[in-house]
Chains A and B, each alone.
Chain A
């Protein structure tokens, strides 16, 4: 067992260290706004194009749900990989490797991507619902599906970002890996979101919801299991 050196009475735990990584990333993002600008601009442009193309034509709920998650998925793909890619490109990853355990780094980066996804959803989802005139007949259920979906997207994107961060050709590799990994999640999200637009009850959506929670949970668990190898290789 490792004993802490003298004078480290206020040794912070895992959560405190992961919070430090999240705080650093938020501070950096506030000052540079690299990822949030990329994600926000892509989301707004995509949404504008989609709403212009669709116009006032009535759409099937499944099409509306598909469009919503397509916009969210591609917008997140633009920005979420930045969290690890930037560390490698600016050579700050060395100092991070020297001072933080891999799980702390992943925890902080995952939390940062969740925050970024949450901000993206706050910006995008109300605009999407208004511009596309989508009625959400089960709003509480919709919020639950949205939240689990965003966490799942952030979880999948974070570990793929870590895997591709050291590659020479990053963006194509990210696209090639993220799509098959998140495909089952996206299919579940489209199905469950369709139900929330149609006004289905909790019991009708419960199997989809369980699938979503299971997939997001499995994605994050596997990420923590794999990350030591990914980060230190």
Chain B
């Protein structure tokens, strides 16, 4: 079972303190929603949890059977989705997933990749360059990227952004499916529909 402990986490850029002395926990099979006004540090917090930022103080530990994940474990077991992240526009959707599967050390099983694309509604456009995708389609591909390898932790920054109503519904379903599978899901959002997905909430600011 996976368990997240955030203890006195602080993040500072130069003299600007973004996050200060933040502590909370999250557990397997639960959805934790992070809310707060714009610019308060929700995205920064998520980057810290995903290991994309060095902490200025405190600790964020992903624990599995009491053992903390190292960087390699995070790369394989943590799914991440953010508006700040872009996938390769020169590659097709399928090529993107194939590339990241190889980097994660997952078997490059085309059926698995295609099933993932089908789940997010992109199988019909799998051979198109991502640069030709609409913003909503790119968001669906980011969802497929985040779900690769059935991660035990999902860190999602505004997962429903740019999605149409069907896509938004799909985003909610994927959050619930992940929760049912025992994944820790962390969602940063101010959208009331996404806030309702949460089993718990951390309010910043």
The interface of chain A, by Cβ under 8 A from chain B, is 2, 4-5, 7-12, 16-17, 20-21, 23-24, 27-28, 31-32, 90-92, 94-101, 104, 232-233
Kindly list chain B residues whose C-beta atoms are within 8 Å of the C-beta of A12: 102, 105
Q: Given A28-B88, A232-B54, are A100 and B103 neighbors across the interface (CB < 8 Å)?
A: yes
Closest chain A residue to B52, Cβ basis: A97
Do A2 and B105 touch across chains, with their CB atoms under 8 A apart?
A: no
Do A28 and B100 touch across chains, with their CB atoms under 8 A apart?
A: no
Do A8 and B90 touch across chains, with their CB atoms under 8 A apart?
A: no
Do B107 and A95 touch across chains, with their CB atoms under 8 A apart?
A: no
Closest chain A residue to B80, Cβ basis: A98
**A-contact 0/1 string along B47-59, CB 8 Å cutoff:** 0001110100000
Apart from the given pairs A95-B86, A232-B54, 4 other A-B contacts in the complex at a CB distance below 8 Å:
A9-B107, A10-B108, A31-B129, A96-B103
Chain B nearest CB from A115 CB (Å) reads 17
Q: Given A5-B149, A91-B85, A95-B100, are A32 and B76 neighbors across the interface (CB < 8 Å)?
A: no
Do A90 and B89 touch across chains, with their CB atoms under 8 A apart?
A: yes
Kindly list chain A residues whose C-beta atoms are within 8 Å of the C-beta of B100: 95, 99
Q: Given A27-B95, A97-B52, A101-B75, are A32 and B104 neighbors across the interface (CB < 8 Å)?
A: no
Chain A nearest CB from B182 CB (Å) reads 13
Q: Is B77 an interface residue (CB 8 A)?
A: yes
Kindly list chain A residues whose C-beta atoms are within 8 Å of the C-beta of B70: 2
Do B102 and A95 touch across chains, with their CB atoms under 8 A apart?
A: no
Q: Given A100-B75, A101-B75, are A20 and B99 neighbors across the interface (CB < 8 Å)?
A: yes
Kindly list chain A residues whose C-beta atoms are within 8 Å of the C-beta of B84: 91, 94
Contact among B73, B105, B129 for A11, CB-based, below 8 A: B105
Chain A nearest CB from B75 CB (Å) reads 6
Kindly list chain A residues whose C-beta atoms are within 8 Å of the C-beta of B52: 94, 97-98
Kindly list chain A residues whose C-beta atoms are within 8 Å of the C-beta of B22: none
Kindly list chain B residues whose C-beta atoms are within 8 Å of the C-beta of A10: 107-108
Contact among A2, A4, A92 for B88, CB-based, below 8 A: A92
Do A27 and B91 touch across chains, with their CB atoms under 8 A apart?
A: yes
Query: How distant is the Cα of A90 from the Cα of B103 in the complex, in angstroms?
Result: 19
Contact among B72, B85, B106, B149 for A101, CB-based, below 8 A: B72
Query: How distant is the Cα of A4 from the Cα of B72 in the complex, in angstroms?
Result: 10
Do B105 and A24 touch across chains, with their CB atoms under 8 A apart?
A: no
Q: Given A99-B75, A101-B75, are A92 and B105 neighbors across the interface (CB < 8 Å)?
A: no
